[in-house]
Structure 1
Amino acid sequence: MNITILGAGLMGRLLACSLARTGHSLTVYEAAAADSRRAAAFAAAAMLAPLAESAVAEDTVVRMGQYGLTRWLELIAELDAPVFFQQQGTLVVWHRQDAAEAQRFGQLLAATGKRLPSLPTQKTLDAAGLDQLEPGLGAHFAQGLYLPGEGQLDNHQLMDALLAQMQRLQVSLHWNTARSPGDFAPGQTGQPDWVLDCRGLGAQPQWPGLRGVRGEIITLHAPNVTLSRPTRLIHPRYPIYIAPKQDGYFLVGATEIESDDTSPVSVRSCLELLSAAYTVDPAFGEARIVELVAQCRPTLPDNLPEVRYLGARCLQVNGLYRHGYLIAPAMVDVVLQLMDDGRSALAENMNCRVADVAGAVIASEARQSMNPVAQEPA
């Protein structure tokens, strides 16, 4: 089939590569330049932490995150360029004055574990236990939690590897070219067989419920810091994370502000994030600030993702919020299943919403009747 994708962010690139590998002809339109780093996919730590996120996320997101942890290994293995991936778990620590908030956090995780027993069980650590996992951490914290099995990847490496893969698969790429679903009549003569809208906040004119949630991230080069796994610090306003990457690089972030503002990082956020990193390991005091990034994540009113039909051959994917890398593999496979036979068992099992343009959830029978691809050749 001839398939058009709007948006070359994380979802657009993953779908383009998946579909091109199976022999379809792909065209991608992106409003930004090829070398732009302004997409939400670049302003992320790419942590794959379903249990940790369960403190602020619905069970649907947690289930999709569990699925994604396994699926990412397969998706990365299909790429030609290497992408940093690790699955050494997550550490959660706190200062004494935040012990009550840490207790509440632990209770939320325990409640999730009861509802979703397939999740790994959190482990309580004392200072010696922290030192065993991360030498020196026990000197600064008396207690912590260890969430086994959680992972992370390098989002910049991934986005670059996906772009290289699209080029090798001869995907037709059109940069600095904004398009909307209304520019196409999928299924008609001379038009694409399918249109997939993955524009994030660029889809606001067609999806008024979309809003931006601002996130701010600092990239540090700290070769003297030895943290080897994502570490979250309980904070009075929001849990701050430190995500180690390769070669002594660390991402510090987790600010969450209801705003469409994409101006530079604020002084307050910068001070809070850097101070938090310093209290986790004073060696961050000698780190070098490599980059300050602020970007808005596309978010729907209930903070849950959604796939919706604009027509029989036009799908919109949006609302991945702060969970983009956590849930992207599940969202990709939901879309592929819908395109393949008009229904998605994965969406039904995980309670992922598939709706029409009016917001009504579509039953499997209705989806089948909307999708003639399984019955007639492209």
Structure 2
Amino acid sequence: MRTLLPSLDSPLSITIVGAGLMGRLLAVRLAQDGHRVQVYGTGGPDAQGSAARVAAAMLAPLAESAVTEPGVVRMGQHGLARWPQLLAQLAEPVFFQQDGTLIVWHRQDAADAARLQHTLERTQRTVEGLPALQPLDGAGLAQLEPTVAGRFHQGLYLPGEGQLDNRQLLSSLAATMQQLGVQVHWHTARGLQDFAPGTPGESDLVLDCRGLGARAQWRELRGVRGEVVRLHAPGVTLQRPTRVVHPRYPIYIAPKEGDVFVIGATEIESDDLSPASVRSTLELLSAAYAVHPGFAEARILELATQCRPTLPDNLPAVRVVQPRVLEVNGLYRHGFMIAPAMLDVVMELLQTGQSRLAQRFDLRVQLQDNP
């Protein structure tokens, strides 16, 4: 690995291609360490067009274990511990909450809920350090989340899980890059063919964090479409991310600051970036209304779609397949949950040529001489 990547022992000139979540996190960290960093992004500071902008940013490793592997769950555990440290270093405050996840269901979906509970309990036996999930009856639900009292009679509480405000974070990362002197080229698309790292006049190192924009290098990448509604609902007082078990659309509702709620559920194997369908919109809104009738008077702030960069196994990957170029991709639906773990793995690889964390997370790291 060290023969493929330059040492970070002395200040380097580093180019990052892609100004989404991973690109910004890496730019801030490397600039903090004294390196000269420039970033190229196809969008602007608001991250328009980035998968990171259209997200609920839930940090829920146990809840997500229903759809992913233990390694990703461990990455999520790592992220929950690291996010407060990372946020404390940024130029602007970012909403961060760690009040757990609530899972509820209607009586007709009790069988699906039982299967989910079995899956989560199996994860707890497999992954050390996860707080025990807590089954709730009607009284327990009313005490934990009074908003849902009377509409649901059973639930699960997953303590310790969290969320943050994705757009506040992206904005704060942009402000921090500016503060640190990172040279950012907004609205400027670049590919790996535009750079020759290590040659005179070029950067010492290139990091490619473009997601679906890197398809020329990651031929197996595909897009998985997500649809999200952002509502302003002053009449709803959910205190923590809430998931509703349903056989067709397992909805999530994430409360943000200012009475804003991010609601999503859809996961469609498609690269289509057209507006959300009527069916998806009706399903999202009707499911939200079933959780709390106050959503009927909410105002629709935004109905957004975006495609998440996904590899065939739905797992993230890091690779170095040419000298002085490191590529990160495949964060799928877990971007905010696993981003701190991916950041720390990349920094270990750059600093030492290997990563103990990658082994702990079962993270695929591909080297040029080890395909």
TM over 0.5: yes
How far apart are 1:245 and its partner, in Å? Answer: 0.3
Amino acid at match of 1:232: R
Q: Render the CA deviation track for 1:101-128: whole Å, top value 9, x for unaligned.
A: 1000000000001111311111100111
How far apart are 1:356 and its partner, in Å? Answer: 3.3
TM score, norm. by length of structure 1: 0.93
Q: Render the CA deviation track for 1:59-110: whole Å, top value 9, x for unaligned.
A: 1110000000010010000012110001000000001111111000000000
Aligned-residue CA RMSD (Å): 1.2
Structure of higher RCO (CA pairs closer than 8 Å, 6+ residues apart): 2
Q: Render the CA deviation track for 1:356-375: whole Å, top value 9, x for unaligned.
A: 36982xxxxxxxxxxxxxxx
2:56 to 38, 45, 55: 45
Amino acid at match of 1:353: R
How far apart are 1:351 and its partner, in Å? Answer: 1.2
Q: Is the 8 Å Cα contact of residues 59 and 76 (structure 2) preserved in structure 1?
A: yes
The match for 2:144 is 133
How far apart are 1:36 and its partner, in Å? Answer: 4.7
Amino acid at match of 1:347: A
2:199 to 188, 196, 205: 188
The match for 2:80 is 69
Q: Is the 8 Å Cα contact of residues 127 and 137 (structure 1) preserved in structure 2?
A: no
1:228 to 239, 259, 269: 239
- Percent identical pairs in the alignment equals 63
The match for 1:330 is 341
How far apart are 1:164 and its partner, in Å? Answer: 0.3
Q: Render the CA deviation track for 1:155-183: whole Å, top value 9, x for unaligned.
A: 00000000000011111111221111122
1:145 to 156, 160, 163: 156
Q: Is the 8 Å Cα contact of residues 49 and 150 (structure 1) preserved in structure 2?
A: yes
Amino acid at match of 1:123: Q
Q: Secondary structure at the match of 1:354?
A: strand
Q: State how 1:1-378 maps to structure 2 within 5 Å.
A: 1-356=12-367, 360=371
Shift in alpha-carbon separation, 1:208–1:192, aligned structure 2, 3 A:
same
Shift in alpha-carbon separation, 1:207–1:46, aligned structure 2, 3 A:
same
Q: Is the 8 Å Cα contact of residues 79 and 340 (structure 2) preserved in structure 1?
A: yes
Q: Is the 8 Å Cα contact of residues 20 and 47 (structure 2) preserved in structure 1?
A: no
Q: Secondary structure at the match of 1:192?
A: coil
Regions of 4+ moved over 3 Å: 33-36, 356-359
The match for 1:368 is none
Amino acid at match of 2:171: D
Amino acid at match of 1:105: L
Q: Is the 8 Å Cα contact of residues 90 and 147 (structure 1) preserved in structure 2?
A: yes
For 1:25 and 1:196, how far apart are their aligned partners in 2? 13
For 2:199 and 2:249, how far apart are their aligned partners in 1? 49
Q: Is the 8 Å Cα contact of residues 59 and 80 (structure 2) preserved in structure 1?
A: yes
Q: Secondary structure at the match of 1:257?
A: coil
Amino acid at match of 1:132: Q
Amino acid at match of 2:233: A
For 2:189 and 2:264, how far apart are their aligned partners in 1? 30
For 2:50 and 2:67, how far apart are their aligned partners in 1? 23
Q: Is the 8 Å Cα contact of residues 214 and 262 (structure 1) preserved in structure 2?
A: yes
For 2:190 and 2:368, how far apart are their aligned partners in 1? 18
Amino acid at match of 1:302: D
Runs (5+) with no aligned partner, structure 2: 1-11
Amino acid at match of 1:325: F
For 1:101 and 1:358, how far apart are their aligned partners in 2? 45
Q: Secondary structure at the match of 1:42?
A: coil
For 1:252 and 1:89, how far apart are their aligned partners in 2? 17
Q: Is the 8 Å Cα contact of residues 80 and 165 (structure 1) preserved in structure 2?
A: yes
Report the more deviating stretch, 173-182 or 277-286. 173-182
